């Protein structure tokens, strides 16, 4: 096993494929760009507008963001 087991993962905990534009180049912290954007969006909504997003709303936003990124399809 690699020193950091997360380097071998193909999917994030929300099920987004870690490839193409969705893979972050850093080795620490979150590597799923869609989930990172969703958490940043939730934080901004809370701080700037006083709106607290539910976990399902954060997941919905992450799924939408993932759909806008170019990710290579899974080989058959």
pTM of the model: 0.76
pLDDT of residue 74: 66
Q: Average pLDDT of 21-41?
A: 81
Contact 9, 18 (CB under 8 A): yes
Q: Residue 9 pLDDT more than 90? A: no
State the pLDDT confidence band at 75, using cuts at 50, 70 and 90: low
pLDDT of residue 4: 61
Sign of CA dihedral 24, 25, 31, 37: negative
What does the pLDDT read at residue 6?
A: 64
Q: What's the chain's average pLDDT?
A: 84
Tell me how far apart the alpha carbons of residues 6 and 50 are, in angstroms, rounded to a whole number: 34
């Amino acid at each position: 096993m690699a020193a950091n087991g997360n380097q071998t993962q193909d999917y994030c905990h929300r099920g987004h494929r870690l490839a193409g534009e969705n893979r972050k180049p850093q080795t620490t912290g979150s590597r799923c760009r869609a989930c990172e954007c969703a958490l940043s969006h939730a934080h901004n909504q809370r701080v700037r507008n006083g709106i607290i997003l539910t976990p399902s709303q954060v997941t919905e936003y992450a799924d939408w963001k993932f759909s806008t990124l170019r990710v290579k399809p899974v080989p058959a």
